[in-house]
Amino acid sequence: MTIQVEYQQLAGLYESAGSLPQLPKSPLRLSKMLDSTDSNPVTIEQLILSDPALTAGLLRSASSVYHARTRPVTTVREAIMVLGFRSLRSMAIALWTQSLIVEASKKSFFDATRFTKNGSFVGYLSSAIYRETGPMGSNWTAEEVYAGGVLCNISMGLLAVLHPAAFDAVYVLARDNQWTLEKAFVMRYEHEIAELGPLAAHALGLPDLFTAVVEHVHNPHQAIDYFHPLACLNFSRAVADSSGFGLQRWPVEFVVSGAVSDDVALSDERMCELVEETRRHTLLHSPASAA
């Protein structure tokens, strides 16, 4: 089988990713419901309560440090009020992304713990940078940036679910050459994995904002309307890759474009403080590293 034929088969799998039977549907249903004009708190609450994992995750999110809570949120109704519809949608997408890793780790070299830590690191750092630099014309919330960080490597996670053997081949190539997984994918298939992600995003019915993350986080210049939040995400991914929190176990060179670096305009001292804060948060809130 030629590499191009195999790549086209991968594209077909991504295009049909909306029918993945092994992943929970409640978070995606919630996201679509929140985008609907006839959604209301009662039906939203009922949907959340029908899924114990979704309920627990949203209660944790609503009680988190982001919302400066002096006491934990204990009811779904209160969580809806604390988060608001846009943040609720973002957290639902983030929770769905995390559920993917459990399935992926059963089938391949895919490291579920590392994926979780990567999403936590990128999400926390990018949202912290976004809060400090301001929206710069963007209408994204900080919670949407956080969810984008959790979601930004979903293309690689889906590869491990949809075609474990292909993921393992990419992983071995990356490991042997100390590359990122994305570079190894390009070297093997002569295509960016970012080309596949939007196929799955559309099949899964992800909101446009998160489809933009999947498609353009590698190159924010292609989405001018979303440049600033995507620049925060792009920068944070590079920090994660170069500091031991990337998808691969080996650190790689920190590389971002000059425009991205200029856009994330914080002093070196403040950036170091945020990175250290992010590192502590990630280690505190993520499971222990896999052996």
* Angle subtended by helix axes 76-104 and 112-133, to nearest 10: 130
pLDDT tens by residue, the chain, 291 residues:
578 789 999 999 999 877 665 566 788 788 888 877 777 888 888 888 888 778 877 887 777 755 556 677 888 888 888 888 888 888 888 777 777 666 666 667 888 889 889 988 999 999 999 999 999 999 998 888 988 898 888 889 889 888 889 999 999 999 999 999 999 999 999 999 989 988 988 887 777 888 899 999 999 999 999 999 999 999 999 999 999 999 998 989 999 999 999 999 899 999 999 999 999 988 987 665 433
- Rounded to two decimals, the pTM is 0.82
Class of the CATH domain delimited by 3-285: mainly alpha
Q: CA separation (Å) from 250 to 114, 171, 193?
A: 11, 12, 20
Within 8 A by CB and 6+ apart from 208, the residues are none
